[in-house]
Chains A and B, each alone.
Chain A
Amino acid sequence: MLTIREYKKVESLEEAYTLNQKKSNRVIGGMIWLKMETLNVGTAIDLSGLGLDTIEETETEFRIGAMASLRALELHEGLAAYTNGAMRESVRHIVGVQLRNLATVGGSLYSRFGFSDVLTMFLVLDAQVELYKGGIVPLSEYAERPKDRDILVRIIVPKKNAKFNYQSVRISQTDIPVLTCASVKDENGYRFAIGARPARAQIYAQPVDKTAEQMAEAVRAEIKTGSSLRGSAEYRRHLAGVLVRRAAHALDAE
């Protein structure tokens, strides 16, 4: 059970940062997962007054506030066009509209859950996270770091000449995934982010000259999978091959 002693809707990032240095305090995002934890929080730090819920699109990048909802990602036309619909595909299975109106991109990335569709998707977007003190760091690096007490301010997605695809396997449509696979093809080749292994998503890069089958075989051989309630390590390894091959075909298709 989650208990909270005090609540503070902060007026600046500095205030949020200062409060967040105390170990018992916590930043609340959409509060979906936080609420399910058994946790005694001193002060709940609410960033919802800082205007961080917007998605800005420029010529060169998307600037997504940490408090932007998953529903906002789903509905954003610019993101849809840039990702060939992959962004929407990556979040539309997540429980329901009402949950996606609450869950935030910042909360999703900070939590770094193994089953996170959002983390899987943003990894292939070459996203960077902007931390209040820590500056701008690649998401791939941030995801590997232990959770710290900095404030995640926004996510920056650079625009590149690339094509994207998103796939997942789920036992039922609104369940968390058994395996996720976000993929990108650009001038450097293919990269596949595979999550819900069940551990956190990781990137598997493949050169342009391989066939879909070869890439599938390579990832299948390389990937580390584990077992959970939703699937065995062996099944997940098999799925990784299937999804990589399908993703490669989709990326190659006109």
Chain B
Amino acid sequence: MKVVNQPLRKKDAMQLVTGQPVYVDDVTPRDCLCVKLLRSPHANAIVKSINKTAAMKVPGMEAIFTWEDVDQDGRRYTQAGQTYPEASPYDRLVIDRHVRFVGDVVAILAGADEKCVDKAMKLVKVEYEVLEPVLDFHTAKDNPVLVHPEDNWESLAPVGADNRRNLCAHDECGNGDIDAVLADCDVVIDRVYHTQACQQAMMETFRTYCEIDTYGRLHIISSTQIVFHTRRIVANALHIPKSKVRVTKPRIGGGFGAKQTAVSAVYPAFVTWMTKKPSKIIFSRVESQIASSPRHEMEMHVRLGANKDGIVRGIDLHTLSNTGAYGEHGPTTVGLSGHKSIPLYGKAEAFRFTSDVVYTNHMSAGAYRGYGATQGLFAVESAVNELANILGMDPFKIREMNITHEGEIMPAYYGQLNTSCALDRCLARVHDMIDWDNKYPCRDMGNGKIRAVGMGMAMQGSGITSMDVGSATLKVNDEGFYTLLIGAADMGTGCDTTLAQIAAEVLECPLDNITTLSADTDWSPYDSGSYASSTIYVTGKATEKCALELRGKICALGAKLLGCDKEQVSFDGREVRVEEGENAGKTISLSDIATASMNGNSIELQATVTHSSEISPPPYMVGAAEIEVDTETGEVTLLDYAAAVDCGTPINPNLTRVQAEGGIAQGIGMTLTESVTYDDRGYPMENSLFQYKIPARVDIGKIRVEFENSYEGEGPFGAKSIGEVVINTPLPAISDAIRNAVGKRFYELPITPEKIAMAALEKK
């Protein structure tokens, strides 16, 4: 392969490293209305009265919208970027009289500049009827306090939701007689694991600009992963026709799933639609921390049974998930906690997976890289590590004995076939990389310092089975350069480049011959958007098929110009050549074909292909951490993180590697420092990057990633996904290393120095 599997520079790389103005706030006008949101100081309250008279007197103020401007009996909507009919309930109004978390929207203010809006904000007088909040997700189900008591709450999909029980979703599934199998096991690990809410904390906060375009339509320029879903979400929220909405994304300053929810778009859209004036909202970091779309807090009860020989015979998992005040991604994230952890253990005779997703008066959760799999894998992998300890077995050995293999059916993975899998090779590779046998379980370095290792495995999916849609349009331009139009969203991940690499490989041209444009609901071919690890696998396959179809058209026009049938010609990327018949050997260059296509031609040199997949081949990964624990202070220093990934064929090895390294760093943060917590009134505590500590470069030690590629026949050039699987292994690996250092296993994240030090002290 000449272009695919090559470590090529991203198409936008030099623009980005030289700081060119390419993001929402750079490419949209400064002299538009500044939009800000007045947010609730209460976790659960009804707005009794709201007085905006004084605020509107501030010079420059354009409008203040409150619940009185929104039909409270109108149809509700969800901000979740999902295929319609969404699994997430329709439980939001643009402004609801009933505010359900600290930070919920009470009023939308729009004015000439930030100063006047800030001033006006202080002058809006609101009287609340404060209600008792539901703050503990353990007591949410069937709590007498209902987060959504309203009659116009609506669930569109059969996910077991019931607002009268604070239930956003409920599910049960299984295979085999799990109770009988567990009763027959020599050992059953029976533990409860708790993972916290975490913020994606992408460097560019949520932001959206809106204007009325030439045709009187609402043009939304937003930092989003989901242009098409945003069109539907905004139309639903404003109760306006979808034909009136256009959504465009420029460069995005990071997403990680946060921008798979339309967190910011609805508010300036409302302002611009009402005032017909351009407007912009830029979330502060505080807003991005307290009113956004963090990872779902989950509690997982695992019962994992095995025989003395180490064979895992059954896994019973119950997950309780906290969706917060609104149900964005609630019903779907929870499923991955079981369906993307249990299938790793291919010898199991039975499984059961049950789940409840509950409403509370926390901020709404959302999609964050890993999407429930991260949580479930922490639980199941930690349980297997504990099993290894109990049986006195090596954690790598026990995996080697149990893992799923290529060609096997995975009952807990929706019964799908394991079509491509190098998990065994990943295990062997990481085992060597970390020098496991010499380091496991720990070494006392003296002075209270202990070095230890720990490991974990992970899987994810590649797109949502039989749901995600990817499309590509390719066309030939003057002199034979190509344009690739996509609806997928490059959020730094590099898909504008990697999809072009796929097209260039098929079209046998240099990468620079292809210009990528994305994404715009008016001119991009339909794409569900960049989430669920779908872009390379689903949109990438569409791109491959599209490029093949375009080759056919190039050949057809070339043949016509050469006076022969298209079956008689070949195309090598530069010219069409007659291979047989009387004109054999005659050629015409792509450039000449392109020129001819613009003169008296009726064969379109353009193709659009749409693709969806009936399977979602999992990428796999193994990670191992070496840490040094100061047993007296509890401080953990990460020395080395070794990982091996099976993502099928890496389309761009550089970008694949950086995805893995970045995901691991986020996993490290989730394991050791990052957490979203609330005080007893429901106030979020970590409301800034000062209080919410994402890893700095001095916190992560050394991260080393290698690849063990399988070949996925359904993917483009054998590729599977990479973006999400990479965040999952640090949680079980580091927590296992901590256990190996101090002799105590932690079932709750993050594992802070205090927890470790106090545990070590207790042990003494």
Contact = CB atoms under 8 A, between A and B. Distances in A.
A–B: direct contact at CB < 8 Å: yes
B194 to A, nearest CB: 18
A155 interface: no
Interface string A1-23: 10000000000000000000000
Interface in B627-649: 632-633, 635
A232 interface: yes
A231 B761 CA distance: 15
A239 interface: yes
Contact of B118 (A1, A172, A173, A178): A1
Interface in A191-243: 229, 231-232, 234-235, 238-239, 242-243
The dominant DSSP class at the B interface is loop
A243 B118 CA distance: 46
Contacts of A234: 758
B693 A235 contact: no
A171 interface: yes
Contacts of B761: 238
Contacts of A56: none
Contact of B693 (A1, A169, A175): A175
Interface stretch (B95-103, B139-147, B695-703): B695-703
B691 A235 contact: no
Nearest to A93: B698
A74 to B, nearest CB: 15
A130 to B, nearest CB: 31
A174 interface: yes
Interface in A18-64: 36
A60 B693 CA distance: 42
Given A169-B633, A229-B685, A239 B757 contact: yes
Contact of A178 (B695, B698, B753): B753
Interface in A149-174: 169-174
Contact of A238 (B685, B693, B695, B758): B758
Contacts of A235: 754, 757-758
B645 to A, nearest CB: 26
A228 to B, nearest CB: 10
A242 to B, nearest CB: 5
B116 interface: no
B731 to A, nearest CB: 17
Interface residues of B, number: 21
Given A1-B118, A234-B758, A238-B758, A171 B691 contact: no
B686 to A, nearest CB: 8
Contacts of A239: 633, 757
The dominant DSSP class at the A interface is loop
Given A1-B118, A174-B698, A242-B633, A169 B758 contact: no
B673 interface: yes
A172 B752 CA distance: 10
Contacts of A242: 632-633
B285 to A, nearest CB: 11
B485 interface: no
Contacts of B757: 235, 238-239
A172 B758 contact: no
Contact of B754 (A1, A174, A232, A243): A232
A172 B696 contact: yes
Contacts of A175: 673, 693
A175 B673 CA distance: 10
A172 B695 contact: yes
Q: Which of B633, B686, B695, B752 has the most CB of A within 10 A?
A: B633
Contacts of A229: 685-686, 691
B672 interface: yes
A91 to B, nearest CB: 14
Contact of A169 (B698, B699, B753): B753
A169 B673 CA distance: 14
Given A169-B635, A172-B693, 20 more contacts: A36-B690, A169-B753, A170-B635, A171-B672, A171-B693, A172-B672, A172-B673, A172-B696, A173-B699, A174-B693, A174-B696, A174-B699, A178-B753, A229-B685, A229-B686, A231-B754, A232-B754, A235-B754, A238-B761, A243-B633
Interface of A: 1, 36, 169-176, 178, 229, 231-232, 234-235, 238-239, 242-243
The 10 residue pairs across chains A and B that have the minimum distance between CB atoms = A173-B698, A235-B754, A242-B632, A172-B693, A174-B696, A169-B633, A172-B673, A172-B699, A231-B754, A173-B699
9 contacts: A169-B633, A171-B673, A172-B696, A173-B696, A174-B693, A174-B698, A175-B673, A175-B693, A243-B633
